[in-house]
Amino acid sequence: MLVLLDNTVLSNFAHIQRHVLLKIALGESAVTVQEVIEELMIGVEKRVIPNVDWAWLPVISMNEEEKQAYQSLLQRLNKGEAACLAVAAVRGGRVLTDDRDARKIAAGMQIPISGTIGVLVRLIDLGELSVQEADALLAKMIAAGYFSPIRSLTEIL
């Protein structure tokens, strides 16, 4: 199953210079769309998102059916979230986003969702991070501007 990463999740891991953790957590299933890369690059150009090497992350293009769904979703979402949801809806993928509106719409479309917290939990489950290490990364993300629903992963583990 494709796991589509949106700008909110990519940005959180870029801010702490640990973007490769996404590859470790998601492996070959991780992809994004051109619209997300464009959003990310705008943040890099404005110097609000660190420039990191995303060469490992495949960028897919939307087909015609996905473009139709995308146009409909643009009425309620930014380009990146709309494109991720459109691709996930058509191809049966999962979306990783921390955007509240995108998560609500995904739930209504019955698209599996997760986000930054889910990735950190997966890394703990894989034995790549301890709870303390994951909490330290979460704290750095929060300090960089992530509006986390929790302060410690112990709240959900």
Tell me the pLDDT tens digit for each residue of 131-152: 999 999 999 999 999 999 999 9
> 6 to each of 15, 65, 99, 144, 156, how far by Cα in Å?
14, 20, 9, 17, 23
The pLDDT value recorded for residue 96 is 98
Average pLDDT, stretch 112-133? 98
Q: Could you tell me the residue ranges of all domains in the chain?
A: 3-155
Q: Domain 3-155 carries which CATH code?
A: 3.40.50.1010
The pLDDT value recorded for residue 12 is 98
The pLDDT value recorded for residue 65 is 98
The pLDDT value recorded for residue 31 is 98
Residue type for 30, please? Answer: A
Virtual torsion, Cα 25, 137, 144, 28, nearest 10 deg = -10
- Over residues 18-38, the pLDDT tens digits come to 999 999 999 999 999 999 999
pTM of the model: 0.96
pLDDT above 90 covers a percentage of the chain that reads 99
Instruction: Yes or no: say if 6 and 36 are a contact pair by the CB < 8 Å rule.
Output: yes
Which residues lie closer than 8 Å to 25 by C-beta, 6 or more apart?
119, 122, 123, 126, 128
- Over residues 37-62, the pLDDT tens digits come to 999 999 999 999 999 999 999 999 99
| SS3 letters across 67-108 | HHHHHHHCCCCCHHHHHHHHHHHHHCCEEECCCHHHHHHHHH
